[in-house]
Amino acid sequence: MLRALFILSLSLTLPATAQVATSGPVDIDRIDAVAPEVPFAEAFQGGTISRRKWPHQVGVHLSDPLLPAAATFTADGGARASLRSRTIPLNVGSAVLHYTLAAEPGTAGSFQVDYRDARGRWQRLARRTPQQAVSLADPFVDQKPLPLAALHSEAALRFRAVGLDGFGGWHLLDVRLETFAEQHVLTADVAGPDWGWLHRLDPEGGDWTETPVPFAEAFPFGQQVTLLAPAEIDRWQFNHWTIGEQIEAARYLDMQLDAATAVVAHYWPTLADAALAEIRVESNLAGAVPVQVRLAGGPPLPTSGPGRYALRAGERIEIVPRRLAGRYVFNAWADGVEEAARTVQVRLDRRFRARYVLLGDLNGDGALTGLDVDALILALADPEGYHARFPDLVADRIGDLDGDGLLTEADVDPFVSLFFGPE
Ligand SMILES: [Ca+2]
Ligand SMILES: [Ca+2]
């Protein structure tokens, strides 16, 4: 997983007890920086904590050799002490602030962590009491995800001690901001051959690697991805790409991923296999075939005779029966497929036979009689019993007289009318 992780840390050796006031430069380290171009990394990179990086301070001692913390908030400046960062470009998917806090005995008031929203207003992220911050020997370690409102190009953080009364003070120890790049998933596949692969350009080394499809992978926002579809896979020839709804004819695909993306390389059979296949659709009814054939997602296909279609192998087609043909209703396909509309990929000559049944003929004997009333009662009261008795009949179609797709009690009145005529 390409999880871009940047950790900026401000660290200081913590003394064993508060009495031992050791100190030294406060190092700011960047750990595991995958992409150094992230602006936040530059904003805090290197050196000791400084007035340049934390330019706004009131009542705060930074890196004071006499104090055992990166920043100590005292009552020097009055009841409030605050420390504000410089502007941080935080154009990332998410960010988590980690900080460690301690309060000296006798500290009053509270400690607040604020972020600046995109309109420049300060918003509170966290508020801590001296009881929560415990002591320097046992400091309080907290982590807070930044809300989306905090993630913008002029982000800033502020730490504040509020309500100081001259005793005690707050110590801010470690501060680090962990950021995660936004990610998008790319899925890639081939259509035509049963299996396949794609060439991918390694953005680091500039080498091509063969990647089996289908594959799905998360990429950071803006990642450049280059794919090359092989000219041939087995006896299939490259024809075009689809990128979502778009069509691309070139075998090279160079994309900058700024959204979830699905790409498919479409292949046609090579000429030797490209002979026309004959697809025939029929029904058990005399006359015109009440079935439409069209290219998958496309227009109806021209026939080459009643119910006959000449198609290239590899083509994907949809076969859609009309629900009603005169007094007859579509029941199921003769090969046992119950779904009315079916999508198939043409490989060889094939024949599809739609079975129609007289509307209301729930026992399937070809006539409307009193036996159909018994079958109707069975179908309504015990659908599983009906299915066991008439496994080839779909009651929800044959008995669906109001056309809502289901056999329900609402179909009983129209059923009665079918037998005896409207009242
Ligand atoms: Ca019947
Ligand atoms: Ca119905």
pLDDT in tens, 246-271: 888 888 998 888 778 899 998 887 75
Q: What is the pLDDT of residue 194?
A: 84
Find the 423 Cα to ligand 1 centroid distance in Å: 22
Peptide bond into 147 cis (omega under 30): no
pLDDT at residue 67 in the model: 57
Ligand nearest to C-alpha 358:
1
8 A C-beta contact, residue 88 and residue 6:
no
- Tens-digit pLDDT profile for residues 297-322: 666 777 777 888 887 777 788 999 99
Interval between CA 422 and ligand 2 midpoint (Å):
17
Q: Which ligand is nearest to the CA of 399?
A: 2
Mean pLDDT over the full length of the chain: 79
CA 254 / ligand 1 centre spacing (Å): 62
Q: What share of the chain is helix, strand, coil (3-state, %, to 5)?
A: 15, 45, 45
Identify the band that residue 66 occupies on the pLDDT scale cut at 50, 70 and 90: low
Three-state SS at 35: coil
Domains and CATH numbers, the chain: 5-180 (2.60.120.200), 183-272 (2.60.40.1140), 275-357 (2.60.40.10), 359-423 (1.10.1330)
Question: How many whole angstroms from 400 Cα to the centroid of ligand 1?
Answer: 15
The residue with greater pLDDT, 170 or 12, is: 170
- Mean pLDDT is lowest, of 187-191, 203-207, 388-392, 402-406, for 203-207
Cβ-based neighbours of 115, under 8 Å, separated by 6 or more: 122, 123, 125, 146, 147, 149, 150, 155, 156, 157, 158
Decide which of 98 and 376 is more confident. Answer: 376
Least-confidence region, from 107-121, 162-176, 377-391: 162-176
From the CA of 404, how far away is ligand 2's center (Å)?
Answer: 5
* Closest listed ligand to the CA of 411: 2
Q: Is residue 30 classed as helix, strand or coil in its secondary structure?
A: strand
- When pLDDT is averaged across residues 154-166 and rounded to a whole number, the result is 90
Please write the tens of the pLDDT for every residue from 191-229: 888 889 999 988 777 788 889 998 888 877 667 889 999
- Contact (Cβ atoms closer than 8 angstroms) between residue 7 and residue 25: no
Distance 387 CA to ligand 2 centre (A): 17
pLDDT at 135 over 60: yes
Cα–Cα distance measured from residue 232 to residue 416, given in angstroms and rounded to the nearest whole number: 62
Structural tokens at position 217: 């992978």
What's the gap in Å between 414 CA and the centre of ligand 1?
16
Question: How far apart are the C-alpha atoms of 282 and 306, rounded to whole Å?
Answer: 9
Pairwise pLDDT comparison (130 vs 315), residue with the higher score: 130
Residue 375 C-alpha to ligand 1 middle, in angstroms? 9
The confidence score (pLDDT) of residue 331 equals 97
Query: From ligand 1's centre to the CA of 337, what distance in Å?
Result: 23
Q: What is the Å distance from ligand 2's center to 410 Cα? A: 6
What's phi and psi for 245, nearest 5 deg?
-90, -15
CA 357 – ligand 1 centroid, Å: 10
Tokens for 96, please give them.
């988590």
Q: Tell me which of 38-47, 130-139, 200-209 is least confident.
A: 38-47
Closest ligand to the CA of 357:
1
The more confidently predicted of residues 112 and 30 is 112
Taken as a whole, the chain contains a residue count of 423
329 CA → ligand 1 middle, Å: 14
Cα 60 from Cα 74, distance rounded (Å)? 6
What's the 389 CA to ligand 1 centre distance in angstroms? 14
Ligand nearest to the CA of residue 360, numbered in listed order = 1
Of 347, 180, 191, 362, whose CA–CA distance to 263 is shortest? Answer: 191
- Spacing, Cα 25 to ligand 1 middle (Å): 94
Ligand 2 midpoint to CA 33 (Å): 63
Is 64 or 98 the better-scoring residue by pLDDT? 98
CA distance linking residue 324 with residue 322, whole number of Å = 6
Q: What pLDDT score does 46 carry?
A: 27
β partners of residue 266: 191, 240
Say which ligand is closest to the CA of 365. 1
Q: Which pLDDT value is given to residue 385?
A: 96
Ion ligand 1 — residues with CB < 5 Å: 361, 363, 365, 372
